[in-house]
Amino acid sequence: MDVFKTRKSSSVSKKGETCRIPLTDDERAQFKLQNEGPKMSEITWRIFRIMAEFVEGFQFLSTTSREVTVFGSTRVPPTNRWYQEAVKFGRMLGENGFTVVTGGGPGIMEAANKGAYEAGAESIGLNIQLPHEQRVNPYVTRSRAFYYFFTRKVMLAASAQAYVYFPGGFGTLDELFEILTLIQTKKSERIAVVLVGHEYWDPLVEWIRASVLGRLDAINPEDIEIFTVVDTAEDAFDLVKSSVERSIF
């Protein structure tokens, strides 16, 4: 749609009346500069903010080692079976020299951090800044807050030697399928991806086999081998430990 400006012009209309005349190319360029300048400035500063989050995030994680990232629902209470398994899993990791990394929030994240904390190990929380600020659970020993979800997701995946997924909602599923895609497309090295909880994950795995592979042929049979489903903290720990040891030696 053309941009117009209002001018006084006795040659086009009666004296004293106004008419709308299309802007010249020069006037249009000036209008665009004046009106889009602040927008471009905002975009530029947003880019710098994103860059800063990446730089600061990688610096924050540069001092950690043997990281295992744990994902899962924020909504499960301490009485939930998977909360208790996550505590046990975090404790086993901590007792064996691993660094537990979570999103720093409640639920499964809190449980894994709690286990590591009780073992006296480093317990990392990569938190997200929300309008009603998401609290950092009390078992995090070191934390970093992120403004953007996508920079936080990169940090959660950046340096881990294993990814462990307890039952969760859309966020957990989003994080799982992103990691599976990165490994499938060889954008990430092949490391342990462990799903804890047969009763929760088996229906999803069956759907992947029957529909994604069977009906649509949208993945290869070996893609289903990227992840392993287990039912206990002990089994999850054994898989993580053996995977990390194989990668070292």
CB atoms within 10 A of CB 233: 24
**Residues 6 or more apart in contact with residue 126 via CB below 8 angstroms:** 57, 101, 102, 103, 104, 143, 144, 146, 152, 155, 156
Encode pLDDT of 32-59 as tens digits: 656 655 566 788 888 898 999 999 999 9
- The answer as to CATH 3.40.50.450 being correct for domain 66-248 is yes
For the chain, the average pLDDT equals 87
Residue-level pLDDT at 36: 58
pTM as predicted: 0.81
Q: Give the ranges where 136-211 is alpha helix by DSSP (H).
A: 149-158, 170-184, 198-207
* 121, 147 Cβ separation under 8 angstroms: no
* Cα end-to-end distance, the chain, whole Å: 65
For residue 169, which of 200, 129, 199, 214 has the smallest C-alpha distance? Answer: 200
| Pairing of the two strands 162-165 and 192-196 | parallel
Residue-level pLDDT at 20: 56
Residue-level pLDDT at 248: 58
Given a cut of 90, is residue 21 above it in pLDDT?
A: no
Encode pLDDT of 171-211 as tens digits: 999 999 999 999 999 999 999 999 999 999 999 999 999 99
Compute the distance between CA of residue 191 and CA of residue 197 in angstroms, rounded to an integer.
19
Compute the distance between CA of residue 82 and CA of residue 89 in angstroms, rounded to an integer.
10
Residue-level pLDDT at 95: 97
